[in-house]
Structure formats: C-alpha cells, structure tokens
Structure 1
C-alpha cells in the first residue's frame, strides 16, 4: 500500500461520513476504510480512472468537482502548487464552514510547502508524520465563490514561422508558464509533417496541436493525453487562436494503445512524469508500438532528451530512425512506415 494511504488509515478516527478523496493513489485504501466512511474519488488522470472503475469504486474523472455531496475531503498533494490552489478553492466553495479538509503527501513531494496553502481558508494542524509522509487537517473558517475554470489558465505567446500562437495552460499542465525547450526545437520541423489525420500524443497545453492545425486547415488533429487539465487546455488554446473546432478531436487515453488507427502522422513531445516520479513507459511504448496506428505511408515525429534510447526503440519497430535535429540537449527523431524500394 502507498505510504500516504497508510498514514490516512492511521488517522481514521478523524474520518466520518461522505468523503471525497482527491488525487488518491491506486491502492487498496478504499477497501481498508471503515464502514462509517463513504468514499468517492476525484481524479484527472485517465489511467487512475481505469483503476478505480476496475475496483468498482465510485469515481469522477475531469477538471471539475463531482456532483456528489461530501462532508469531508482528503487531498493527496499534487506536484503543482497552482493545481493544489485550484483544488482547495473548489473544495472550500462547496463545503460548509467548519468542515475538515485533510492534506496528505510525501515530504519529498513538498507536503510541508503544500500545508502553507491551507492557511487562507482556516486553521490547520499537523495530525501525523510517518512513513516519510505527513497528514494535515484544515478546519474551514470561510467559504469562497468558485471561479470558472478558464480564470485559472495562464497565457503566453509562442512565435512560429506561421505567426504568433496564443497558448492557454491550466494548473498542473506541462509547460504552464512558457514554451518548453523540446517543443521549441521541434516546431520548425512541423511544416514537414505529412498532412491529414494527425495525433498529438501527450498534447499538454496544445502548442503542437494548434500549430499543426494552423499549418493546414485540412489537417484533422487528435489531441491525446492522460490528463483532463491538458485536454481542457488544448481546447482553450484552439479557441484562443480561432482555429476551426472541427479540426480538433480531444481524447483521454491510457497510452498510445488508445490512439486512432490509420493515422497519417503521430507527433509527440512524449510525457515522462507520473506525479513526482519519472516514468518512461508511455513514451517507450510510443516508440515500440506507434507503427500499428499509422497508415502504410505514415510518419512518426518525436522530440526527446538526447540521452534517451528512443532512436534504438524506433529503429527496432520501423527499421530506421532519422535524427532531424540535435540541439539544446534534444533530438528530433523521424521514422516512416513507407517501405524503401
């Protein structure tokens, strides 16, 4: 069991009634909670949704709070400070004054920093410190009015060969404040991507999706991500740039296995973080198995840290891998399913 869940179980005496568990780990916590507790889960990670559904746990996936009523909440600290602010505001807007919100997280995950974010809403108290984790209790002393999701987005401008793009990025989304180096290295090569049905795997705030749509109004973009906030950001970015809504299809995915078939191209600045932990599974699977989602003359375009072994994985699947660029610590990699004559 996740050590954070173990700490929650140590403090079960504080828990009662209907409880919303936010960003909870995928473990046996639900089955270990006592009968007086009625848990409901809220996640924005599509893989976690699959887990909780398989456990037959009541679960809601999305950027918004579930419609269910709850008396208490347990927040497992997310990596992003801004995302925690959003979550706390949402919870306090729905809960009666005097309600308890519990915060639990790993010390290396910044739980002590996160506990300070409770202060605007009431008195907080450290309940436990064990398993390299801490658990805090906030008793709310006020209520707040929930702000619309769009108000939480940060905006920045990206210069492209086709003019400016306006980017909207919600809390917790990769590269929320500025264009990341990897995507900046990839952008000049996107004009070489074959036109048609294109997947942007790990779409984030939608920089790649929006630019591909801008390059050719006939391109149909499938924006794929595990994170509900990323998908919502991509939609906002399209709207902000007045791109045709029919060009975009947004889809929550577990990994590349959920991508459409018969794509003309897959383009990706692949993800490698799962919460505070590094996880290369999704990007390695992309290199190994994306071929089956491409047409017979389909293309794979990836930008990745130069130290990663992606060229070898792509070569094993496609028979070849071309390095289009190697700069600022990143490589732009290209492969095609086209058989060489």
Structure 2
C-alpha cells in the first residue's frame, strides 16, 4: 500500500461517501473505499486500477463530471499542475471539503498553502513521511481553462520555426530541455517507414520528425494524459498530422517501426525511476522491423550501452555534449 493511501485510511471515516481520488496510486485504496472513484492521468496506473476496479477510474486531463461529496488530491510533482488540479476540484465542491495528501519531501506543506485561496487549510494527520490537509471550499474558483494555462514558445530550426505548446505538469514546461536540443541535431538519415517518438512530452520531437519526414507515418506515445494533450496542441499549432497515443511504456507501441526516437524519462514524481527507459531498451527490438533503428539521448551517467548491445544491437555514440550522449543502434 502506498504510504499516502495508508495516511488516508487512518481517517477512512472522512471518505466513506462519494469521494473522488485524484492522482491516486494503483494500490488497494479503492477496495477499502467502495463508494470512491478514481481520476488518473497516468495511463499505467489507470490501466491497473481499471483491471482491478472496473469502471471506477477515469483517465483524462479534466475531472469526471459526476457529482461527489468530497475529493482528495494526491500531490503531483509540478507546482503548476497542482494549482490547476486544485482549482479544477475546488470548482466542483462549493461548500464542501477538499483534501490534499502528499510526501513531506515532495513539498506537501508548500502545496497546502495554495489551498488558502479557498478557505483555511488545516493539517489533519502526519504519518509515513506524509501529511493530510483539509480545506472547506468557501471561496469557489471558476473552473480552470486548461488550454489557457498552456505555455508556448518558438523553436527555431533550419527549415523554419515550430510553435511548441506545453501544459502544466509536462516535462520541460515552457522551454526546450538540453537533451532534446542535442537529439534534434541528430535526426538525419532516418529510414523510411513508421517513426515513433517515445515519451513524447510536448511533442517537440514528433513534430520535427513529421515536418522533416512528411511521407513517413509518425506516432507519438506518452504515459501522461497531459503530455498527450500537449502533443496534440503542438501538432495542431503547426498544421501537422500524426498519431498521438497514451500507453504504459514501449509495450503500447505499434509493431514494425522503422525507427524509435526518444528522450526517455527516468523520473516519476520525486523519485528516480528507470523502469520505462530500461523496458524500452529491453523490448524495442520487438517493435522494430529488421534493421530498424533506435536513437535516443540520455544523461552520460546512465549505463545504457550494455542494455542496448544486449537487446538491440551494436551501440554507437553519435554525440557527447553538455552531460548527454546520443546513442544509436539497429535491430539485428
């Protein structure tokens, strides 16, 4: 059981009615709260919850429309995303109670101060290195317009600039990160066929690929609903068409790909988490056609070449700069 869920269950009587659990972990919590429903923006967590508690978890960037007596937000990593989620929940709870639960090291006390816009927050519990906060929504905010919260920036390229649209919570919100900038310099001579942007984020890589290889099919894949929405906005802003899908890792990718391009994630919340990246390297060959390529950027300290050599093929370093490396391999 996730420690945040354990803290909630110490006060289980507060959540015995129709409660919305936003950003909940994929554990047994819904089993202990039979009238509660979940709202997730992580495709993997949602799939696991739906498998165990069919029909009780929604996957979206906006909260479910059903009326509830209360709601709990499991603190996300991004402060901007926290603000959006709190407003989205508080707008549905006039005069009702809104709760926030999170790890101390994730900044739950700081986030609790954001709840002061609705009323007077108070700390109910502190255990398992987590805290539970409560506020009565006396000052009801307007339902937030997610698209209005998007940040936009122009990405200058040799063939003209691209407009990038990022939503709160998406990796490198409002700016181009160093690793992706390096990878964008090494997208030449990709094989014809179906290209995949794995861990697409705001769709920077996928948009560049579609414009540079207009006759290739391009798919963008991410585990996060906000990233998927951002990628769709980026493509639309540039008049580009590509497939954007959500899924939990490389297992959700199409088959017979000619190339996989990625700036793979290695953080989940405040925790270092290499599973998605390592699964990508272990399973990429199943999704690549014969002689299909994988090309990715990674922090120099990450020991990816042995995994690439073992599961895909000979690994070549195309670039080494600013603490990052570009690796390339072709499937056997």
Same fold at TM > 0.5? yes
Given that 1:200 and 1:208 are in contact with CA atoms closer than 8 Å, whether structure 2 keeps it comes out as yes
1:42 lines up with 2:39 in the alignment: yes
Task: Look up the match of 1:272.
Answer: 266
TM-score normalised per structure 1: 0.94
Q: 1:56 & 1:7 partners in 2: Cα distance? A: 21
- Answer with 320-329 or 13-22: which moved more: 13-22
Given that 1:76 and 1:104 are in contact with CA atoms closer than 8 Å, whether structure 2 keeps it comes out as yes
Classify the secondary structure of the residue corresponding to 1:251: strand
Classify the secondary structure of the residue corresponding to 1:304: strand
Classify the secondary structure of the residue corresponding to 1:108: helix
Moved over 4 A (4+): none
Given that 1:161 and 1:188 are in contact with CA atoms closer than 8 Å, whether structure 2 keeps it comes out as no
- Runs (5+) with no aligned partner, structure 2: none
Classify the secondary structure of the residue corresponding to 1:296: strand
Q: 1:319 & 1:290 partners in 2: Cα distance? A: 11
Deviation at 1:3, TM superposition (A): 1.5
Given that 2:26 and 2:46 are in contact with CA atoms closer than 8 Å, whether structure 1 keeps it comes out as no
The correspondence for 1:56, drawn from 21, 30, 53, is: 53
Classify the secondary structure of the residue corresponding to 1:160: coil
- Runs (5+) with no aligned partner, structure 1: none
1:238 lines up with 2:228 in the alignment: no
Alignment of 1:1-341 (within 5 A): 1-33=1-33, 38-56=35-53, 58-96=56-94, 98-243=95-240, 245=241, 248-337=242-331
Number of positions where the alignment pairs a residue of Structure 1 with one of Structure 2: 331
Deviation at 1:16, TM superposition (A): 4.0
Q: CA RMSD in A?
A: 1.3
Classify the secondary structure of the residue corresponding to 2:132: strand
TM-score normalised per structure 2: 0.96
Given that 1:221 and 1:249 are in contact with CA atoms closer than 8 Å, whether structure 2 keeps it comes out as yes
- Answer with 100-109 or 214-223: which moved more: 214-223
Q: 2:297 & 2:96 partners in 1: Cα distance? A: 46
Deviation at 1:162, TM superposition (A): 2.1
